[in-house]
Structure 1
């Protein structure tokens, strides 16, 4: 009889522990990767939100203010430039015709003409724009333009006071190399030419000479204040040396010693007396601007004749001015009052 018993089933192979471990680690890696991806996406969204918020914060939310800001900047620069030009063009004696009242009137008129022109343009766009001069201060430019003359006054005095009780700025010299005496910064011997600025609180002395320690022709500038020697700047060369106290430079190169004189960065020394000492030991040209003060009598020659021809002279200038800038449109009203001084930049 045939055997119809079914064959035995093969035994199912059971999974070992090592296989189950590999599956668990794979699932952990997958979960970690998904978690990192979510974090990176979230971080990107956060950075984008921060950048967008910063852009919104820095945007001008009121476009109507842009024309007023632009007009203020243009009006201020134009009024400052007109002040420079009127001062430069005026050559009149402060005590005579074309003196201070004239240059002040010229400046007021020039600003008014500029305001009328720009105001007409603004009116075509339904806006009101103007700039007006509220006040001006009397000033005096002291100058010597004869490059072959010593720095003495019109009578030939070597020690003399240019002005007293004034504010001073825009101080510049062009000194001939052959006119200065030999000296050095350690002794300052041989009586070199010096400029003294004294405001009753502080004193600055600026010495100009040919430094014997450097050899060759040069012009050196040394600064001494109430505490002692500050420093020296030496610039060699055969051309005249341009000493600019206002911006603290010699021949266009920065002079740190001179920068200590420039109060506020513009050599605007207040309530001072300005004097030259040993002025026969230096020659060339110079220019400085002072506010209204005293000490001008008998030191200058504005006629340019006789034995004093070519000596220092004075002209009237506007030392500073106060102007008001106004701009009005349907969106904004802007008004500002500012002080302008041409060399305080």
Structure 2
């Protein structure tokens, strides 16, 4: 009888041909996996390329909408400034003129965009009525028309916005300082107190305070004759930067604007507040109806984009 037990010595009974077959199977399997990985890599690269291309196309496609919205904001600011100076007989007249001015701009802009097949439109949703307060005579002191030196320029519990504050000051009218006798523009609201003091300290000096602490002291960069400009909106004095001047119109509710020692400085000034019917009723200084701000609805459409935005326009 044949002995069917495994021979001693630990040798495998596998034949050489079987080992060759197994090696070939492993080689084929490795090749198959390699082909699979290459295919997956190609698919992944294609997906990444497609995603990048789609992103680039979306960015390019949205560029027109972003540009149009930016230009609509600029057009709104220009329109508000224009109608405030030209049509300030009443708030009704201002709103009508603003709507008409924006429509003229929109028609021209829409025709321009239609050339490339895009549809664009801007509509006036609403406007915030306010008051422009102004003095035009550069030789007049910063007093009331009757000569009162300490007075309230504008005050109302609902007053909460101040913009476009600019003073053109005659340096020859300034008191020596710093001192309590210098001219002070005081802005108080529930957001705190801000103060501009203007005086002569070996040259015109503008001192800015917030809640009683001095935050900036600036000198004019240039003059026009004897005058220099304090531009709160652009944070500059005589064209030179005065960075912390911008705190003056950062206000809250229950706003009061007042002058102290108005007889110690003189020149022109202008400002716009966000409530109608406030400000002096005299001939100079005086107040007129104004539009403080406006809300615009912008739409921009292409075959691949449907863009809408609501934009608040508040000129500086």
Give the TM interval when normalised to the shorter protein. Answer: 0.7 to 0.9
State the 1:64 CA deviation: 4.2
* Correspondence for 1:101: 92
Q: Would you say the 8 A contact 2:173–2:266 is kept in 1? A: yes
Aligned to 1:164: 155
List per-residue Cα deviations over 1:61-99 (Å, max 9, x = no partner). 575444433333333322332222222333x3xxxxx21
**Pair 1:279-2:255 in alignment:** no
- 1:241-320 to structure 2, matched below 5 A, reads 241-259=228-246, 261-262=247-248, 267-271=249-253, 272-292=255-275, 295-296=278-279, 299-302=280-283, 311-320=284-293
The 5 A counterparts of 1:21-32 are none
**Structure 1 portions without partners, runs of 5+:** 1-48, 93-97, 303-310
Aligned mates of 1:232, 1:329 — CA distance in 2: 51
Partners of 2:185 and 2:257 within 8 A in 1: yes
Contact 2:129 2:276 in 1 (8 A): no
Match of 1:59, SS state, is: helix
1:219 aligned residue (190, 204, 220): 204
Give a deviation string over 1:160-206, Cα, whole Å, max 9, x none: 1111132111111111111111112xxx14x1110000003411121
> Is 1:230 matched with 2:215?
yes
In structure 2, the partner of 1:18 is: none
Structure 2-normalised TM-score? 0.74
Matches within 5 A, 1:90-169: 90=87, 92=88, 98-120=89-111, 122=113, 127-165=118-156, 166=159, 167-169=161-163
Instruction: Report the TM-score, using the length of structure 1 for normalisation.
Output: 0.68
Q: Does 1:206 align with 2:203?
A: no
Q: Which residue of 2 aligns with 1:196?
A: 186
What corresponds to 1:4 in structure 2? Answer: none
Tell me which structure has the larger Cα radius of gyration. Answer: 1
- Name the CA shift for 1:130/1:219 in 2 (closer, same or farther; >3 Å): same
Moved more, 198-207 or 220-229: 220-229
8 Å CA contact retained: 1:163, 1:294: no
| Distance in 1 (alpha carbons) for counterparts of 2:206 and 2:218 | 5
Mind listing any 5+ residue stretches in structure 2 that lack a counterpart? 1-44
How many residue pairs were aligned?
263
Aligned partner of 1:6 in structure 2 is none
- Alpha-carbon contact 1:180-1:208 (below 8 Å) kept: yes
Q: 1:68 aligns with which of 61, 65, 70?
A: 65
Aligned counterpart in structure 2 of residue 323 of structure 1, from 278, 296, 303: 296
- For residue 332 of structure 1, the aligned residue among 285, 305, 309 is 305
Shift >6 Å, 4+ stretches: 52-55
Aligned-residue CA RMSD (Å): 2.7
